[in-house]
């Protein structure tokens, strides 16, 4: 079973100890069980959950959005159709992010490819490269 203390979980997922308490306050992670002393005991599930939060944050999702993602489920309050609808919205967002990243990647690659022609290049090569690929909002 192996339950983790606060510092153990913090080390495992590489976040500050206090961040865990903050996430708990924010409702991003559920209140863990406690020992009689009041000490928190985290199940291994928490590792996955906090990892997910960190990942999603790095991808530009806010904590509120992450909370929404984590709570997407069918229950008596939320019908299947509602869940599907929200999920589709999130999926569309993710597709957009992927497409944008792909454009930036292309621009960077164009940049490095043209790099052998040394000497100063234009004002802002990455933007030029993006424009040459039809970068639009």
Residues 9-48 that bind a second copy (CB under 8 A): 45, 48
Cα dihedral 12, 18, 24, 25 in deg (nearest 10): -170
**Does 134 contact a second copy by CB under 8 A?**
no
Q: How far is the CB of 137 from a second copy (least distance, A)?
A: 5
Query: Which is closer to a second copy, CB of 39 or CB of 101?
Result: 101
Torsion sign (Cα): 27, 45, 88, 81: negative
Q: Which of 16/75 has CB closer to a second copy?
A: 75
Instruction: Report which DSSP code applies to 31.
Output: P
**Nearest-angstrom CA–CA distance, 98 and 51:** 20
Which of 2, 36, 58, 134 is the binder for a second copy (CB under 8 A)? Answer: 58
Instruction: Provide the CA 37 distance to its chain's centre, in angstroms.
Output: 34
- When CB distances are held under 5 to 8 angstroms depending on the partner's kind, the choice from a second copy, DNA, none that residue 75 binds is a second copy
């Amino acid at each position: 079973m192996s339950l983790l203390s606060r510092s153990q979980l913090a080390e495992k997922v590489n976040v500050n100890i206090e961040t865990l308490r903050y996430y708990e306050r924010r409702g991003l992670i559920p209140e863990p069980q406690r020992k009689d002393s009041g000490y928190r005991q985290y199940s291994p599930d928490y590792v996955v959950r906090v990892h997910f939060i960190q990942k999603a944050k790095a991808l530009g999702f806010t904590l509120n959005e992450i909370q929404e993602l984590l709570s997407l489920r069918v229950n008596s309050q939320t019908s299947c159709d509602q869940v599907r609808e929200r999920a589709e919205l999130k999926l569309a967002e993710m597709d957009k992010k992927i497409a944008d990243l792909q454009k930036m990647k292309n621009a960077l690659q164009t940049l490095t490819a043209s790099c052998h022609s040394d000497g100063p290049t234009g004002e802002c090569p990455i933007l030029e490269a993006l424009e040459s690929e039809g970068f639009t909002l």
